A and B are shown apart, each in its own frame.
Chain A
Amino acid sequence: MKPFRWFSFAVAALGSALALPVGAAPPFEDSIAQRVLACTGCHGPQGRAAPDGYYPRIAGKPPIYLYNQLLNFRDGRRRYGLMTGLLTPLADAYLREIATHFAGLEVAYPPPQPAKENAAVIEQGRLLVVQGDPARRIPACVQCHGDAMMGVAPSIPGLLGLPRDYLNAQLGAWKTGIRRAQAPDCMNEVAKALTPQDISAVSAWLAAQPASGKPATSLPRPLPLDCGGVTPSAAGGSK
């Protein structure tokens, strides 16, 4: 028995050495993670975001939010050539599976970015996020994105754990209409009411907050605006 055990251990060790040379990627397995390596090339392993601060984290975002974004890129409501090119030959059912896969990944968040702006700007950002500006009819971010700002399942994204540059770019794109969603496009309305100063203040404050946890399961209050891409369960009875 003993020599046989020894032998099988040696074979197993040899086998794993062959399968996993030093520094190599894990061996091929037929899994959804393997099928979507095209995504993690830019969005980082398991979709945890890339260090360059441009490609956002996709791990743990609400599934319908991710699915809507895949549809938006494929169907021309969001513009980024590489995304559109990759998604053009893919049908809805597969995009839904890809979205569900990344939504289900629980990956630790990176530490927040320290804010470089002065205290007044940071405070302006915080106020817009938690209170909005009723005088200018700007709803607070937390009214839709949840008090913890980690989003609301299944279709409203979180705002934390994202780089400041990415947040700035997205709010700017919403404002100019380069980024769109299904009608009625509520974020376009909100972003149009924001000034460039508002946007950089909001992005600076959000990027400096620590992120943890999952999206909320329901909204405590009805949505202040009608949003096309938001499914009824997340709308919290706004209709």
Chain B
Amino acid sequence: MTARRVIALLLGALFIAAAVVVALNVRDEAEGLESPVADSIATRTPADLIARGEYLARAGDCIACHTARGGVPYAGGRGIETPFGTVYAPNLTPDSQTGLGQWSASDFWRALHNGRSRDGRLLYPVFPYPNYTRVVRADSDAMYAYLRSLPPVVQASPPHTLGFPFNLQASLAIWRALYFKPGVYTADPARPAEWNRGAYLVEGLGHCNACHSSRNALGAPVGPLDLAGGLIPVQNWYAPSLTGGDESGVADWETHDVVAMLKTGVSARGAVLGPMSEVVLNSTQYLSDADLAAMTAYLKALQVVRPARPAASPPAARTDAQARGARLYETHCVACHGERGEGVRGAYPALAGSRAVTMASSANLVHVVLQGGFPPTTAGNPRPFGMPPFATMLSDAEVADLLTYVRSAWGNRGAPVSTLDVSRFRSDVRP
């Protein structure tokens, strides 16, 4: 083979690869041409369509990213930190220069469904369009009508700060060819309507797997909608597995407990803290009981993974770490969480028998002890009880001893926590 032929072959292969990437990037684009809502009437939409759109925007938790801290809701400007750089969420209010003022309902649909901006640019999947692509056109149009109804706010977002090569559209095209497939949710006729509604919400607007799945080196969820848990990039909270019997699977929960957790932030089986607290605050507390029950039906039907438990062994003598941890527990924790880790019903979670305490990842425990926290204020729990931060009172070694004790006391069987396990999350506490 001559050098010329090799070059020609390579160029040919490159051309074919590029053509494949381009072809994969324009899949399902034709769908945007037909619209149940004519773009021209979008400025005069009935109130119920707007209300429906507001509800769906809540379900999608759009406000969480598209609102700067202390800023006008949906006016954008919040920086979403990723391992590849910071992406700033744009202004969704109908300002004509800095917001969606010039966008048609079809433009909005294309963003949700195809991950493209009005000018055709590819959008970063920090905007969870791999999930939102499952949304049906009618729901997209309702959200569009709602966003059009907001008061326009003039606020330009800062430019993204992504390094090479992540700042290139070509890189994004390759990522999309590998990991993004547009497609509206199609109901599974073998499943009940409630399950299908739950699947539509969990896999689509809810974008639960954005946190509850682990991601590969390119930031893509490792499996399609596996919900098997993952460490949230940058925040370093662990979003527990929703399929794991020993993490946050709800197969054996009563439906009303799951609904209460998502509606109020607290339930008989536990409370939310950390990033999930914000999800309940901004999104799930506003969902109807029927939709929350549908999501629960879907989550309860997930295949449960039950890891083999080590055979029961007689309790060993207390290690030094456990003894030091027990003393710290008596000083700092016992008043609320009780002598036997039983907690106070309705106020402080039990630590004995808690999956949140014993699960393999200790990341959340470390965060909670260092930073403290409140469950969200919701209509159903407007005055939550809080946990104080101990970052300024306990050293890394003390937090490790304390958690080692808590994870092994009262019948708990979680692995010890090392000082290093605490140190690696200490820097997440930003003064």
Query: Is there contact, CB below 8 Å, between B375 and A89?
Result: yes
The answer, yes or no, to whether A88 is at the interface (CB within 8 Å) is yes
The answer, yes or no, to whether A38 is at the interface (CB within 8 Å) is yes
Residues of A within 8 A of B185 (CB): none
Query: Is there contact, CB below 8 Å, between A86 and B277?
Result: no
Contact pick for B373, options A25, A32, A79, A85, CB 8 Å: A85
Contact pick for A88, options B278, B334, B347, CB 8 Å: B278
The answer for the CA separation of A29 and B176 in the assembled complex, in Å, is: 55
B370-405 residues at the A interface, CB under 8 angstroms: 371-377, 382-393
The answer for the CA separation of A87 and B390 in the assembled complex, in Å, is: 16
Residues of B within 8 A of A86 (CB): 371-374, 386, 389
The answer, yes or no, to whether B336 is at the interface (CB within 8 Å) is yes
B256-295 residues at the A interface, CB under 8 angstroms: 265, 277-278, 280-281
As a 0/1 sequence over residues 44 to 76 of chain A, the CB contacts with chain B under 8 angstroms (1 = contact) are 000000000000000000000000000000111
Query: Is there contact, CB below 8 Å, between B382 and A91?
Result: yes
Residues of B within 8 A of A25 (CB): 334-335
Residues of A within 8 A of B375 (CB): 89
Please tell me the number of chain B residues within 8 Å of chain A, measured between CB atoms. 36
Query: Is there contact, CB below 8 Å, between A41 and B391?
Result: no
In the complex, how many angstroms separate the beta carbon of A204 from the nearest chain B beta carbon?
Answer: 25
The answer for the CA separation of A25 and B235 in the assembled complex, in Å, is: 33
The answer for the CA separation of A49 and B46 in the assembled complex, in Å, is: 54
Query: Is there contact, CB below 8 Å, between B336 and A82?
Result: no
Query: Is there contact, CB below 8 Å, between A81 and B382?
Result: no
Query: Is there contact, CB below 8 Å, between A38 and B372?
Result: yes
Chain A residue with Cβ nearest B376:
A89
Residues of B within 8 A of A28 (CB): 336, 344, 347-348
In the complex, how many angstroms separate the beta carbon of A25 from the nearest chain B beta carbon?
Answer: 3
Chain B residue with Cβ nearest A55:
B392
The answer, yes or no, to whether A116 is at the interface (CB within 8 Å) is no
Residues of B within 8 A of A84 (CB): 69
Query: Is there contact, CB below 8 Å, between A89 and B277?
Result: yes
- Using a CB–CB cutoff of 8 Å, the interface residues on chain A facing chain B are 24-26, 28, 30, 32, 34-42, 74-77, 79-82, 84-91, 93-94, 97
Q: Which 10 A-B pairs have the closest CB atoms?
A: A41-B388, A75-B70, A38-B386, A25-B335, A89-B376, A81-B430, A76-B69, A91-B377, A89-B277, A76-B70
